[in-house]
Amino acid sequence: MRVLGIESSCDETGVALYDSADGSLVHALHSQVDLHRAYGGVVPELASRDHVRRLLPLVQTVLERADQPRSAIDAIAVTAGPGLAGALLVGCGFAASLGLALHRPVLAVHHLEGHLLSPLLADPAPAFPFVCLLVSGGHTQLLHVQAPGRYRLLGDTLDDAAGEAFDKTAQMLGLGYPGGPAVSQLALQGTAGALRLPRPMIDSGTLDMSFSGLKTAVLTAVRRLDVGATDAARADIARAFVDAVVDVLTAKSLQALARTGLSQLVVAGGVGANVQLRASLQGAIGARGGKVFYPPAELCTDNGAMIAYAGFVRCTQLAPAPAEPLRVRPRWDLCNLQQA
Ligand code: KG4
Ligand code: ZN
């Protein structure tokens, strides 16, 4: 079965063709980073307009690279939510039209389910059940993943997502957008312990998290910098911030594994690309005999491949969802996928 995946929920247009017969995957991506950089963040209207421009050429590129005609597509999977309403509408409108033209079914995919299942595309892949640490720009969640479609929320951020905190910290340190990788790089030059920032809720006894207080602590530290502060002082703030986020995410992941009695942690979403987080999780979970899994490197951030794969899993391994028209869901609960 060949599934065409379409992702347009935020600032990346992604298209992919997944072929279940041989597991092959061809994907193409257009990042809007250059478009939004001048504004310091994603401008929804510009994002939607750019998705319109990019989608068809990306589909053509993917089909050419896969050396397949349009008729080889058996089903179309598209991100229906959560995300920016206008951006989702572009992808869903496009997918619905393509489905009509090719007489193929169109499957609505939850963006976070795409992230969550993407480590199954890596080798080695985890086996169900596992705990998933989902750390993207908008979400920081711990989930008990029993089987495809069976997700139980263990813990959530009560305010900002970890990725959002990375992006805001980058802005405060003058590193621009997108911020995560830049903060991570700068932190590598900082001195451990030169500055200590709070680790919110680390001992709260629940698996919930909070990152807005940490963001405020960064702001306070930045305001204390002298006008002529050296790059080293900025690097120390970045280091203190990264150490705090990584400590919280590592501690909560360990607690989630202990509570569920599981030994496999799957890390998905953009922040999962962070080298400091990877080293910390590897050390802590490896020391307890557990294993950490990630998606293939280029599939950590948003892409069409994870949507194609999640679409394939949905239509082959789950009971068919009640037939209903394709609907955009800017807010959509991952743990109640069949609900409105
Ligand atoms: O999953 P993703 O691509 O998009 C969403 O679904 O939100 O995640 C984007 C987030 C951004 O906040 C970005 O700053 C963060 O992932 N990110 C990173 C790194 N690469 C991306 N954060 C920390 N370190 C990184 N290397
Ligand atoms: Zn994402």
pLDDT digits (tens, 9 = 90+) for 272-300: 999 999 999 999 999 999 999 999 989 99
Say what the pLDDT of residue 107 is.
Answer: 95
Question: Relative to the alpha carbon of 295, which ligand is closest?
Answer: 1
Q: Is 279 helix (H, G, I), strand (E, B) or coil?
A: helix
DSSP 3-state percent helix, strand, coil across the chain (nearest 5): 45, 20, 35
Whether 312 and 25 have beta carbons less than 8 Å apart is answered as no
Average pLDDT of span 9-14? 97
Residues with CB under 6 A from ligand 1: 10, 136-138, 163, 166-167, 178-181, 184, 269-271, 273-274, 301-302
Those residues whose C-beta lies under 8 Å from the C-beta of residue 198, and which sit 6 or more positions away, are: 213, 214, 217, 244
pLDDT tens per residue across span 71-127: 999 999 999 999 999 999 999 999 999 999 999 999 999 999 999 999 999 999 999
User: Could you tell which of 136, 185, 245, 332 is best to mutate to test the pocket of ligand 1, judged by most ligand atoms within 8 Å of the CB?
Assistant: 136
Give this prediction's pTM. Answer: 0.94
Question: Following DSSP, what letter does each residue of 128-160 receive, concatenated?
Answer: SSEEEEEE-SS-EEEEEEEETTEEEEEEEBSSS
40 vs 9, residue with greater confidence: 9
Q: Which of 3, 91, 14 is nearest to 52 (CA)?
A: 91
Evaluate whether 2-116+299-336 and 126-294 have a shared fold. yes
pLDDT tens per residue across span 139-150: 999 999 999 999
Percent of the chain, pLDDT > 90?
91
Least confident of 174-178, 235-239, 250-254, 306-310: 174-178
Average pLDDT over the chain, rounded to an integer: 95
Q: Is the pLDDT of residue 271 over 50?
A: yes
Distance (Å) from CA 210 to ligand 2 centroid = 19
Say what the pLDDT of residue 290 is.
Answer: 98
Say what the pLDDT of residue 225 is.
Answer: 87
Average pLDDT of span 53-74? 98
Distance (Å) from CA 300 to ligand 2 centroid = 8
Q: Where are the domains of the chain?
A: 2-116+299-336, 126-294
Say what the pLDDT of residue 321 is.
Answer: 66
Say what the pLDDT of residue 87 is.
Answer: 98
Residue 318 banded pLDDT, cuts 50, 70, 90 = confident
Cα separation, 266 vs 105, whole angstroms: 30
Atom of ligand 1 nearest to the CA of 301: 3
User: Could you tell which of 271, 278, 302 is best to mutate to test the pocket of ligand 1, judged by most ligand atoms within 8 Å of the CB?
Assistant: 271
Say what the pLDDT of residue 322 is.
Answer: 65
Distance (Å) from CA 162 to ligand 1 centroid = 9
Say what the pLDDT of residue 28 is.
Answer: 98
Q: Is the pLDDT of residue 231 over 80?
A: yes
Distance (Å) from CA 133 to ligand 1 centroid = 13
As given in the structure block, the two tokens for residue 328 are: 């955009």
| Third-level CATH fold of 126-294 | Nucleotidyltransferase; domain 5 (3.30.420)
Say what the pLDDT of residue 340 is.
Answer: 40
- According to CATH, what is the number of the domain 2-116+299-336? 3.30.420.40
Residue 338 banded pLDDT, cuts 50, 70, 90 = low
Cα separation, 249 vs 282, whole angstroms: 12
Least confident of 15-29, 121-135, 310-324: 310-324
